[in-house]
Structure 1
Amino acid sequence: MSKATRHAADSHDLIRVRGARENNLKDVSVEIPKRRLTVFTGVSGSGKSSLVFGTIAAESQRMINETYSAFVQGFMPTLARPEVDVLDGLTTAIIVDQERIGANARSTVGTVTDANAMLRILFSRLGKPHIGPPNAYSFNVPSVKASGAITVERGAGKTKTEKATFTRLGGMCPRCEGMGNVTDFDLSQLYDDGKSLNEGALTVPGYSMDGWYGRIFRGCGFFDPDKPIRKYTKRELHDLLHKDPTKIKVDGINLTYEGLIPKIQKSFLAKDVDALQPHIRAFVERAVTFTVCPECAGTRLSAEARSSKIAGINIAEACAMQISDLADWVRGLDEPSVAPLLAALGHSLDSFVEIGLGYLSLDRPSGTLSGGEAQRTKMIRHLGSSLTDVTYVFDEPTIGLHPHDIARMNDLLLALRDKGNTVLMVEHKPEAIAIADHVVDLGPGAGTAGGAVCFEGTVEGLRASGTITGRHLDDRAALKETVREPTGALEIRGAGTNNLREVDVDIPLGVLVVVTGVAGSGKSSLIHGSVAGRDGVVSVDQTQIRGSRRSNPATYTGLLEPIRKAFAKANGVKPALFSANSAGACPTCNGAGVIYTDLAMMAGVATVCEECEGKRFQASVLEYRLGDADNSKDISEVLAMSVAEAEKFFGAGEARTPAAHAILDRLADVGLGYLRLGQPLTTLSGGERQRLKLATRMAEKGGVYILDEPTTGLHLADVEQLLGLLDRLVDSGKSVIVIEHHQAVMAHADWIIDLGPGAGHDGGSVVFEGVPADLVAARATLTGEHLAAYVGA
């Protein structure tokens, strides 16, 4: 073989990256072996996601999209080319990330996988009585009356065409329209009937008379906007609340008017309540009562769909079964006529069990899945795939997994690799890093202090490398010698949410409580179902922070407000000048810093604004400065600072701003010292989002804090800092409840509540409550066994 041929063969076995500069990457160059499992490590913010997701996976997806016709590309998301000099050896990338699966109230575990579709086909073939095609079993398809021509036999071979009306059967419950619950509105929360519309009678968020809705309500002509609502006739009140969509003309513009209640149902209630903005969620909780639909008993399905059964089970009952039980039921059906369908459905359901999700049911709303559960649900369609030479990209697949479950996840990842695929994985857990064929460690720090490759090689090489990851790879926390004494207890009695079995437990107050157990054992059901929502309880989770690409840590935390006031006071001008979303915005890019050009089916282009050079502000605004003469900054320079830099800047000298410094202190406390103040929120990971929320809510006057897996996205070296933060919260008089699997957090607890013994209907009970030392000594639960092994007991 010639040298050139050998080089070509070698290049086919590598993904080569040269000069990657996405986000904080500093001309990174790496060679990643194909058909191997490569783990990317490094502290939070070191550039792992920028390299794996923002560069390698993004370019693979962009190039695949370009193979389609221009017409098809017009319907696909547009992707910009990553900042990289050379990227070759790419194969098709399949991204399996932690993004929640939609917040559509109609979306369930069954609908986002193929399981529901296959079940509907099965019932349409075997269900007795037979009621129609698969759509007749779908709660998302309504029954509709239709008319058309039918051919009628007249005898002697003659036919006649006649008009006929018939019903096309869908499975949607007509009462709740396939939602499973019905809504009742408290009208006093929608309007003040003593006022007219022009006097601001409507109290629905966003329905101001000064806005677009006001224009429609005032100009619709169905009622007098100056008349108090309590004086409306029955017809006027019906038109205000319930009128069907009707074409109207206001000031020469063609518009559609619709009653207040259907409008609210479409704009607010079509989404999962938990995904709404806080002020809208508060309104919905005040104004709307959700009750189980009396007609379908919450199954979402019509009476006809529920009447059709296989072996005494209807499709609603099948979807309500725990998936592991449903898999057994499917295996028990012996029908040669649908054998391939039964095999495919059985395989899909077995994949749920394999991946540790056998405790779910197909009717579980997808919006209620955790980030880890969502990621594992997305994995299911790939486990049985016959594709090889695919690049699978995972973002911390061990999130939400008990140490007992991580071994099973490792086996699945290795099985994907052994089929001839390339597996790329961003990870922090030592148990997951241990299975890597190749490791790329980024750092050395976070943000501007990161973005470089610190080590490339084997796990053993990493351990001996002296990098932050290598030094901490074998870290083990010890049990505390003494634990705090509780100051009281929070009583839970008869908790029965999801799989909980009428749980009675006292959660100690004034201490650090860790709630643990295998995935699906009932941890979140217990805490979020029985503790969150009580007075004085602050719950901090990892759900997406709602906001545009203009939102950043400074705007989200309220930090920008004292900063703007400090600039305004120092320069004798109004604060609005120092907002890129207000008076100070660059007029060319409207304060975005970039100009977005839509190129239809081709990738849109974002070019730095030439007017403000990406600084987002008018040139005149940047002349105003804050700080000492030898260290003054303009507003764009402040927003480019990291939290740690800004903490020093606003802590002393002429820039000293106590209100800003207090917020920056809290951000540094939760391990976000590396974030830039102006960094878009859309670039943050799930763990970073949770810590940002925690920093914001630490100022609230809650007595009890609930944290949901705060170690998510944390490097081994940062776990110690998190434990310090938890200690400071408790020592300041707070009660801290942590839902967590990380053994270091368990070992540091004052009190552990362990749920189980298994998942789903095999869980839901408290199997241990007490101090960590007793859990380790007894080794009577899976958690006890793994914690004992971790601390070396």
Structure 2
Amino acid sequence: LTVVCGVSGAGKSTLVTDLLAPAIRAAIAKKKDGLTGKEAMTVVAHQGKPAFTALSGLKGFRQLVVVDQEPIGKTPRSTPATYIGAWDLIRERLASLPEAAIRGHAAGFFSFNTSGGRCEACSGAGRIKLEMSFLPDTYVPCEECAGTRYGSAAKAIRWNGKSAADLLAMTFEEAATFLSFDAKLGDLCGLMVKTGLGYLTLGQSSPTLSGGEAQRLKLVSELAQGLPTFRERSRGEIRPNLYILEEPTIGLHQSDCRRLIELLHALVDQGHTVVVIEHHPDVIAEADWVLEIGPEGGNAGGELVHAGDPESLAKQKKSPTAPSLRLTLERGLVKKPAV
């Protein structure tokens, strides 16, 4: 677990997301251990000369997963399950049931965004929009489907006793237990629980999510890209990923930060490498290695202020990060799990 810290504008994102990430992605795509600075000029912004001498140590990584700060789309048709890709998998599982095959129902039949098994009275929204003059529009549950989004034909198809409507009404914590027999779905729902989103239902409308919830949902969506496939699991070919996260604690409560830290440790324990751009002292204190870029922002930044473990950074007198990190370490606010 490596943390890159420093004041705003010091060059953290430039170093990690603008320089390293595209070079790493290119090397992994070519199945190479690294790239020379000259080779990287085709994928990295430069000023007529290589931005670095050489990049190495990438052999064995399965892929690069980057989690940035771009907000998620909050359309009324989107739900947490659709956003992380779990609903596509569930629709495929429902379509593979004998009862669905006999009736000719494909995966699209179980989508609430297209005609088929959805309730046509509300077009799969589960609610009806009431337009009120001189007042904001309001919504009421659809009387036809009672807010479940689906018609009777779709509800008749049951997977281990649960219909598509029943599954949408489940919380991710309930779904993680119910779907534990399915490796991919179990892992997806498990990630939601680990990031503190286990209380959300699979079918909750995305516009109702808070900023912090939306940020963690995006984190799960990106981390899910690194989950091994069934083929990789069965053959024992699970290789580590390289994760880059850009300020993942933004919008999170202190308790949610704790869950995030535990998730990062879990990724490292599984053999993955995690690089985090972060200024939160609790996250910095948990790192195995810290790079501070600075010492200031803009033209006064872009230099390596310190490289080492958190304890050594806390002792640096010229580090802008050291005072807050020192307090965190002295108060014992963080505790690394025993190895």
1:677 match? 202
What percentage of aligned pairs have identical amino acids? 40
Match of 2:218 among 669, 693, 715: 693
CA-CA distance at 1:779 after TM superposition: 3.2
Which structure 2 residues correspond to residues 460-539 of structure 1 after superposition, within 5 A?
A: 512-534=1-23, 535=25, 536-539=63-66
Match of 2:315 among 777, 781, 789: 777
2:32 match? none
Match of 2:73 among 532, 537, 546: 546
Match of 1:714 among 239, 243, 252: 252
Secondary structure of the corresponding residue to residue 307 of structure 2: strand
C-alpha separation between the residues in 1 aligned to 2:224 and 2:193?
14
**Post-superposition CA distance 1:79-118 (Å, at most 9, x none):** xxxxxxxxxxxxxxxxxxxxxxxxxxxxxxxxxxxxxxxx
2:232 match? none
CA-CA distance at 1:549 after TM superposition: 0.9
**Post-superposition CA distance 1:513-535 (Å, at most 9, x none):** 11111222222222222123231
Which structure 2 residues correspond to residues 624-643 of structure 1 after superposition, within 5 A?
A: 624-627=157-160, 632-643=161-172
Secondary structure of the corresponding residue to residue 112 of structure 2: coil
Match of 1:649 among 135, 158, 178: 178
Secondary structure of the corresponding residue to residue 730 of structure 1: helix
CA-CA distance at 1:661 after TM superposition: 1.5
Matched-pair contact (CA < 8 Å) for 1:513–1:750: yes
Code of the residue aligned with 2:169 in structure 1: it is: A
**Post-superposition CA distance 1:19-67 (Å, at most 9, x none):** xxxxxxxxxxxxxxxxxxxxxxxxxxxxxxxxxxxxxxxxxxxxxxxxx
**Post-superposition CA distance 1:671-703 (Å, at most 9, x none):** 321221111222334443343233233343573
Cα distance change on mapping 1:604 and 1:721 into 2, 3 Å: closer
Code of the residue aligned with 1:615 in structure 2: it is: T
CA-CA distance at 1:736 after TM superposition: 1.0
Q: Which runs of 5+ in 2 are unaligned?
A: 26-62, 227-239, 332-339
C-alpha separation between the residues in 2 aligned to 1:513 and 1:584?
48
1:344 match? none
C-alpha separation between the residues in 1 aligned to 2:126 and 2:251?
29
1:727 paired with 2:265, answer yes
C-alpha separation between the residues in 2 aligned to 1:556 and 1:717?
24
Matched-pair contact (CA < 8 Å) for 2:111–2:117: yes
Match of 1:767 among 279, 301, 305: 305
Secondary structure of the corresponding residue to residue 753 of structure 1: strand
Matched-pair contact (CA < 8 Å) for 2:99–2:157: no
1:703 paired with 2:232, answer no
1:608 paired with 2:137, answer no
2:289 match? 751
Match of 2:154 among 614, 621, 628: 621
Match of 2:108 among 559, 572, 576: 576
Cα distance change on mapping 1:624 and 1:703 into 2, 3 Å: closer
Cα distance change on mapping 1:760 and 1:681 into 2, 3 Å: same
CA-CA distance at 1:758 after TM superposition: 2.1
Which structure 2 residues correspond to residues 379-418 of structure 1 after superposition, within 5 A?
A: none
1:738 match? 276
1:595 paired with 2:128, answer yes
Matched-pair contact (CA < 8 Å) for 1:531–1:537: no
C-alpha separation between the residues in 1 aligned to 2:74 and 2:136?
23
Matched-pair contact (CA < 8 Å) for 2:84–2:224: no
C-alpha separation between the residues in 2 aligned to 1:599 and 1:723?
46
Paired positions, count: 274
2:185 match? 660
C-alpha separation between the residues in 2 aligned to 1:522 and 1:562?
40
1:556 match? 83
Matched-pair contact (CA < 8 Å) for 2:215–2:251: no
CA-CA distance at 1:705 after TM superposition: 1.0
C-alpha separation between the residues in 2 aligned to 1:686 and 1:755?
28
**Post-superposition CA distance 1:447-469 (Å, at most 9, x none):** xxxxxxxxxxxxxxxxxxxxxxx
C-alpha separation between the residues in 2 aligned to 1:684 and 1:753?
34
Matched-pair contact (CA < 8 Å) for 1:542–1:687: no
Code of the residue aligned with 2:153 in structure 1: it is: S
C-alpha separation between the residues in 1 aligned to 2:257 and 2:74?
28
CA-CA distance at 1:571 after TM superposition: 5.3
2:234 match? none
CA-CA distance at 1:601 after TM superposition: 4.7
Query: TM-score, normalization: structure 1?
Result: 0.33
> Would you identify which runs of 4 or more consecutive aligned residues in structure 1 move more than 6 Å?
none
CA-CA distance at 1:772 after TM superposition: 1.1
CA-CA distance at 1:787 after TM superposition: 0.9
Cα distance change on mapping 1:589 and 1:689 into 2, 3 Å: same
Which structure 2 residues correspond to residues 154-553 of structure 1 after superposition, within 5 A?
A: 512-534=1-23, 535=25, 536-546=63-73, 548-553=75-80
Cα distance change on mapping 1:721 and 1:599 into 2, 3 Å: closer
C-alpha separation between the residues in 2 aligned to 1:607 and 1:614?
9
Code of the residue aligned with 1:521 in structure 2: it is: A
Code of the residue aligned with 2:12 in structure 1: it is: K
C-alpha separation between the residues in 2 aligned to 1:657 and 1:753?
40
Matched-pair contact (CA < 8 Å) for 1:514–1:740: yes
C-alpha separation between the residues in 1 aligned to 2:208 and 2:246?
21
1:567 paired with 2:94, answer yes
* Greater RCO (CA < 8 Å, at least 6 residues apart): 2
C-alpha separation between the residues in 2 aligned to 1:707 and 1:690?
12
Matched-pair contact (CA < 8 Å) for 1:542–1:686: no
Q: Cα RMSD over matched residues?
A: 2.2
**Post-superposition CA distance 1:456-504 (Å, at most 9, x none):** xxxxxxxxxxxxxxxxxxxxxxxxxxxxxxxxxxxxxxxxxxxxxxxxx
Code of the residue aligned with 1:604 in structure 2: it is: D
Matched-pair contact (CA < 8 Å) for 1:779–1:788: no
**Post-superposition CA distance 1:202-231 (Å, at most 9, x none):** xxxxxxxxxxxxxxxxxxxxxxxxxxxxxx
C-alpha separation between the residues in 2 aligned to 1:666 and 1:790?
28
C-alpha separation between the residues in 2 aligned to 1:688 and 1:607?
24
Matched-pair contact (CA < 8 Å) for 1:566–1:657: no
Code of the residue aligned with 2:84 in structure 1: it is: T
Query: TM-score, normalization: structure 2?
Result: 0.74
CA-CA distance at 1:547 after TM superposition: 5.3
Higher strand proportion, which one?
1
C-alpha separation between the residues in 2 aligned to 1:608 and 1:699?
32
CA-CA distance at 1:646 after TM superposition: 0.6
C-alpha separation between the residues in 1 aligned to 2:307 and 2:121?
61
